[in-house]
Structure 1
Amino acid sequence: MPLMPVTDAMFLLGETREHPLHVGGLQLFTPPDGAGPDHVGELFRALLADGRVAPLFRRRPRAPVGSLGQLMWTDDDELDLEYHVRLSALPAPGRVRELLELVSRLHGSLLDRHRPLWESHLIEGLRDNRFAVYTKVHHALLDGVSALRLLQDTLTADSDERDMPPPWAPRPARARTARDRPGLSSIARDVLGLGPAVARWVNQAWREQAGTLPFEAPKSMFNVPITGARRFAAQGWPLDRVRAVGEAAGATVNDVMLAMCAGALRRYLLELDALPDRPLVAAVPMSLRAGDGDNGGNALGLILTTLATDLPEPADRLAAIIASTRLGKAAYQGMSRLQVTALSAIPFAPLAVALLPGAVRLTPPAFNLMISNVPGPAEPLYWNGARMSGVYPVSVPYEGQALNITVTSYAGSLEFGLTGCRRSVPHLQRLLTYLDAELTALEEQVL
């Protein structure tokens, strides 16, 4: 097989024991009516008996001679499905707490590079009779958005559908349209326009966003060297509550989500006597409308936004976040997808610098943490009759970025997944309590 793209190879070449680079997801399911006590065991055995595995999930990395360190993908023709698909049971009393502890341990271990880079764990023993599925896939194979789309393709809105294929089974290929294949003239125009676009972006950033430029963030307890062990915490909140605050304040759901995170982080850091005097800065991947011949489509851009953690009042923090995210989006106005993607690499590039020995201790952080919001399915989904009652992203902390917050929406709920370095972020679950308190405080001040 050919050499893998640099974008894939960088996640493998940059991985160490202290820096696992896989993404994951945790789903909770309620068994269908009439399911017996061995429902999860039966499901597990059926998955192993199916045997269908898509080419993507047969890939394993290989380092060919003379490739200057770049890797290539090769197919595993002897894939051991029993290694990749596992059945686990929670210890008593089978609370969500025990489930999150298990996911924390599973997420901290490296994937075996001698095998295809994925694992799926069916977990039974929850005391409310639900079961869970935790899956992790190397970032070289899938990113978080692609993984969520794959999950949606696996499930169905029909609660009566049975005999569904495993998540790793082949799917019908989607036809590419002309819009998916930009012409050479369009690419050339984007590249030629990149210089002026960079100049505009830098000028506006210096003029209006000096506080959220790369390396302007304060040093915090999250911006330290990390270990490979992980903590994971997760919880969902009704999306209607978040939307109501947004409508009253003239904010987006994403703005309110950021304000919840900002207030929770402020409470957490105050409790640990570790709140910086200057406001924390978050890197936020956002869907940005791109003009310039892009037919009004969406592009994914990375902006830096203040979290206004220096302000004591929740409503004031929300107002500051609204202003900051609007300025960040405005900087990309009129740019094509290629230009937005290229410029978004500027605030993200310092993460590579952090991998150099001593860099985290010697340089200020490019930003304090990454907070992502990935839209998910709006309607309830089912897997072989079992209703998915929750879906939580399990993401990647980077060197110098000990905490990652990733959020997705599902069936009227906003689902938070918090992933942190086990050594650097103590009592991570307290952030869930503070997120709840912040949403309540925003309701009291804004509604």
Structure 2
Amino acid sequence: MTTTDRLSPLDSSFLHLENEFAHMHIGSTSIFEGPPPPFEDVRALVESKLIDIPRYRQVVRFVPMDLGRPVWADDRHFNLEFHVRHTALPLPGGREELRRLVARIMSQQLDRSRPLWEMWVVEGLEDGHWALISKVHHAMVDGVSGAELLSTVLDISPDATIAKAAEWAPRSSPSNIELATDAVAQLVKSPYEQVRALRAAGRVPRQAIEQLKEVGAGLSSLAGILSATPESTLNGPIGPHRRYVWTSVSVDDIKTVRAALGGTFNDVVLATITRGFRSLLRARDESTDRVVRTLVPVSVRPRNDGEVAAGDGTMANKVSAMFAELPVMLDDPGDALAAVSEQMADLKESKQAVAGEALTSMADFAPPMLLALGERVAARAAQRNVNTVTTNVPGPQLPLYSLGRRMLEIFPFVPLAGQVRVGVAMFSYYGTVYFGITGDYDTCEDIGVLSDGIEAGMEDLLHLARAAS
């Protein structure tokens, strides 16, 4: 076992957050043109790709007495048939039947004794289409690396063939004694490594000072989330079951709004979501004289010339967060977009995401057994002051294929945890932004109102943009 096999503080936090009601896996539902391929071919395709994603054949091993963070270890009993599954929709095989299936699959917690992922091949969709439902634990992958994973499993050419699966032999798994011994060694070693890193930073004091200024500014901004938001049905205890709906908007429509009304691509998307939550609150006879506070995950992966750098093969989480306040009190869509744009510019200037990343990194200082407890307490405290989560991941803007069939649509899935009953995930693919909306089954029977509100918000902004032009 090497130290590189140990989960990062952020990755391990997703395991600590999980319980019988909060299942911390992300996922997606991809719809393909037909006819469906033979299931054996899909399984052979996945098997041929496993050499590029070693985490898919590894399990999480917990260190005795929480002396250290969990580690990844090869699964000696890995069985691909358990992870790649086959099912079909009941007639008529429409969108509603598929969404119910996705909700049921996502309501089931992943088995921690096995590698933390599943894929479901779904036949019986209308128009001869078929679907691929993927489900991956958040401890293994974040949204951006999830997009990289999608590109790994699929192909950019309809003519790609199935390669022969490479031979694989699992490495020996460490014993509990070895796990504990290594963890104790890391406890001794880690402070030294941190001091060494600080000394190295001291050799470039100007850069270090600038980084500290950014973190300080971000911490000051993060303090704002300590204030509680008004009570709402958006928050409260959740159960283990989920509801799931989706919608989509055109990338060209978003660009049209940007050109006429200003703001960034993400600002326009958040403005449509603002309209969605305004519609949902009004449908529930709740006051909209307030804001809806949302956690917005932000990628902190290295960038080259403004683009996310190529994946490093680890699939580890490299995300931080900002906390935005959706102005649901504003009825005019143009005013809402302007308010969102101004706020997001201020949040970026405040370096909230930088501070969040710094706090996560500082977790290396804490003894893991205390860190595990602290993460649970901090998560509960933060989620009492956050109404929802909205995550937006840029995906490939070229068509992707699986076994010669083109992927037509892809709808993301975001988990719920703590007191958050509704979450919105977005994924852009080939000219369209796809929204996947997760709701608690017991309290969010009406999340279709949120989906319809997002569509209406886009139409309202387009109307204003065309009038302005």
Q: Give the TM interval when normalised to the shorter protein.
A: 0.7 to 0.9
CA contact (8 A) 1:351 1:399 kept: no
CA contact (8 A) 1:246 1:256 kept: yes
1:261 and 1:165 mapped to 2: Cα distance?
45
Match of 2:389 in 1: 370
- TM-score, normalising length: structure 2: 0.78
Matches within 5 A, 1:94-105: 94-105=93-104
1:109 and 1:248 mapped to 2: Cα distance?
44
CA contact (8 A) 1:391 1:415 kept: yes
Match of 1:384 in 2: 403
What is the deviation of 1:145? Answer: 1.6
The answer for unaligned runs of 5 or more in structure 1 is: 171-181
2:374 and 2:424 mapped to 1: Cα distance?
19
In the alignment, residue 200 of structure 1 is paired with which amino acid?
A: A
CA contact (8 A) 2:43 2:84 kept: no
1:431 aligns with 2:457: no
1:115 aligns with 2:118: no
Match of 2:436 in 1: 417
Match of 1:320 in 2: 339
What is the deviation of 1:220? Answer: 2.2
**Bigger mean CA deviation after superposition, 92-101 or 58-67:** 58-67
1:185 aligns with 2:200: yes
Matches within 5 A, 1:116-195: 116-163=115-162, 185-186=200-201, 195=212
**Bigger mean CA deviation after superposition, 305-314 or 324-333:** 324-333
What is the deviation of 1:81? Answer: 1.3
Match of 1:76 in 2: 75
Match of 2:24 in 1: 21
RMSD: 3.5
Match of 2:314 in 1: none
CA contact (8 A) 1:351 1:398 kept: no
Q: Alignment partner of 1:265: what SS? A: helix
In the alignment, residue 39 of structure 1 is paired with which amino acid?
A: P
Q: Alignment partner of 1:128: what SS? A: helix
Match of 1:4 in 2: 7
1:354 and 1:399 mapped to 2: Cα distance?
11
Match of 1:221 in 2: 233
Match of 1:285 in 2: 297
2:359 and 2:113 mapped to 1: Cα distance?
36
- TM-score, normalising length: structure 1: 0.81
Q: Alignment partner of 1:341: what SS? A: helix
**Bigger mean CA deviation after superposition, 374-383 or 49-58:** 49-58
Q: Alignment partner of 1:261: what SS? A: helix
Match of 1:342 in 2: 358
Match of 2:248 in 1: 236
What is the deviation of 1:416? Answer: 0.7
CA contact (8 A) 2:216 2:355 kept: no
Match of 2:267 in 1: 255
1:377 and 1:27 mapped to 2: Cα distance?
13
What is the deviation of 1:239? Answer: 0.8
What is the deviation of 1:165? Answer: 7.6
Match of 1:408 in 2: 427
2:82 and 2:397 mapped to 1: Cα distance?
33
1:281 and 1:56 mapped to 2: Cα distance?
34
The total of aligned residue pairs comes to: 412
Larger relative CO (CA 8 A, sep 6+): 1 or 2?
2
Pair 1:315–1:295, CA change in 2 (3 A): closer
More helix by share: 2
Q: Alignment partner of 1:234: what SS? A: strand
What is the deviation of 1:6? Answer: 3.0
2:47 and 2:358 mapped to 1: Cα distance?
45
The answer for unaligned runs of 5 or more in structure 2 is: 170-196, 309-317, 363-372
What is the deviation of 1:194? Answer: 5.3
Q: Alignment partner of 2:340: what SS? A: helix
Match of 1:177 in 2: none
What is the deviation of 1:250? Answer: 1.0
Match of 2:257 in 1: 245
2:447 and 2:63 mapped to 1: Cα distance?
42
CA contact (8 A) 1:121 1:134 kept: yes
